[in-house]
Amino acid sequence: MQSGTKRIIGLSAAFAIALNGSMVMPLIVMALSRIQGITESTATIVASVEIGGIALYSLLLPRLVKHAHFNVALGGIAALIVGELLTHFVDGIGMLTASRLLTGLGEGALFSLITHDVAAEADAERFWGMINLIGGVCMGLLLYFLSTLAPDTGRGSIFLWLAAFGVLLAPFIFLIQPKTEQQEAAKAPALLPKPIVALILFVIFLVYGVQAGQWAVSGYMGELSKIPVVTVGFFLALSSIVGFIGAIVPALTRNPSHRLRYVALGLLVMGVALYIFFNIGGEHAFLFGQILINVGFYMVTPFMTGLLTESDKDGVLVMRTLIIAMLGAGVGTALTGELFTEGGPGQFSAIAIGVVAIVLVCSVKVFHWALAQGRNEPGVITQQE
């Protein structure tokens, strides 16, 4: 196996393990809420501590991987697996919260392996596209498998399966090799002006907010469309798997001057899909809309993350971008319930499409700036003062 292929497989495995908790979060909340003495609202808070663990690692330890690559990899895997197993066996809000925090810290450590490895890469959206595609399909298959399990009494076996998923992919993570001193010294990041960085982070915040928001009310849309709960779960899992094909676009992009057109196309797909999903009833509209929303999302985000990666010498910037993404998802989820309840699906879709339009305007500014700086040639890195 060629070293480049091994690298992509390792990075994709780390991506799948690090972010699978976010993808299956609704199932985690449901499992926790079935534990005696824990309400659904409490289960949501306990589950969200996992996201807090990722954010905490991103804030406090993003550079540790540069000095202790193997220890971060081993410690991240161990923390995640132990956290999942503890969540299966322990009782009490305090212990469960600590278990989810430990899991999140492990996920944060594994994500730092990715950001440090791809830092300062030219045309980085190709790496992120491949990572999203391969790792995303693994996560989608996991979600599909878990959604087909028969309901259990209590918390069921979901956390055992999540631990097993970590064990299964763990060996591939060690295909990610630490950077040599020569490789570190050879990095030539293209520094972005702070206003452009802020604009990209704003775009990421909004895109993740829209994605998480519509996901949060997808179950309600299924009820309004009179789709059986089991079918809704199957459709959501299927759309998650198929939606990752959107990442093929950045993965195969060879000319950075085409970035804006692909981002614009992805946002157009998201906008149309949001209208279909929230305004046209029935099973076909539900499934087709969800697939297209995911396709558009995974067309857009690797380009934004890639642009930041090219200017990130040690992976810290992209690690902290993950916090912005999680914050956007949290805010989007929090606001969606009230907006959807008060205005209905039609008004909610209008707001979501409006946010996508704002993202498009911001994206035009970002990539026009990149074009003006000469960053539209394959492999070109321009140093900014």
Same domain, 258 and 127: no
- As a whole number of angstroms, the distance between CA 258 and CA 375 comes to 11
Are 86 and 49 within 8 A, CB to CB?
A: no
- As a whole number of angstroms, the distance between CA 45 and CA 380 comes to 45
pLDDT at 380: 43
pLDDT at 165: 98
pLDDT at 180: 79
Q: What residues contact 356, with CB distance under 8 A and at least 6 apart?
A: 210, 267, 270, 271, 274
Q: What Å distances lie between residue 272 and 12, 110, 125, 357, 369, CA to CA? A: 29, 35, 24, 11, 27
Same domain, 207 and 270: yes
Give the pair of three-digit tokens for residue 132.
């999203």
pLDDT at 275: 97
Same domain, 180 and 224: no
Domain finish residue from 170, 186, 202 = 186
Same domain, 158 and 250: no
CATH number at residue 21: 1.20.1250.20
pLDDT at 96: 97
Same domain, 331 and 203: yes
Give the largest Cα separation in the chain, rounded. 60
Q: Provide the 8-state DSSP code for 122.
A: T
Question: Rg of the chain's alpha carbons, rounded to an integer?
Answer: 20
Same domain, 242 and 354: yes
152: alpha, beta or left, given left = phi > 0 and alpha = psi -120 to 50?
beta
Same domain, 268 and 177: no
Same domain, 181 and 199: no
Same domain, 202 and 278: yes
219-246 pLDDT, tens digit each: 889 989 999 878 888 898 899 899 999 9
Same domain, 375 and 282: yes
Phi (first) and psi of residue 151, to 5 degrees: -60, 135
Helix or strand (DSSP H, E) at 232: helix 229-243
Same domain, 97 and 233: no
Q: What residues contact 23, with CB distance under 8 A and at least 6 apart?
A: 139, 140, 142, 143, 240
Query: Could you tell me the residue range of the domain that residue 162 belongs to?
Result: 1-186
pLDDT at 2: 55
Residue 25, Cβ neighbours under 10 Å: how many? 20
Domain finish residue from 186, 201, 226 = 186
Same domain, 324 and 201: yes
Domain finish residue from 134, 165, 186 = 186
Number of structural domains (the chain) is 2
Could you report the average pLDDT of every consecutive run of 10 residues in the chain (385 residues)? 84 96 85 87 87 92 94 98 97 95 97 94 90 94 86 84 97 92 72 92 96 88 88 88 94 89 97 96 94 97 93 91 90 84 92 97 94 60 37
Residue 211, Cβ neighbours under 10 Å: how many? 24
SS3 23: helix
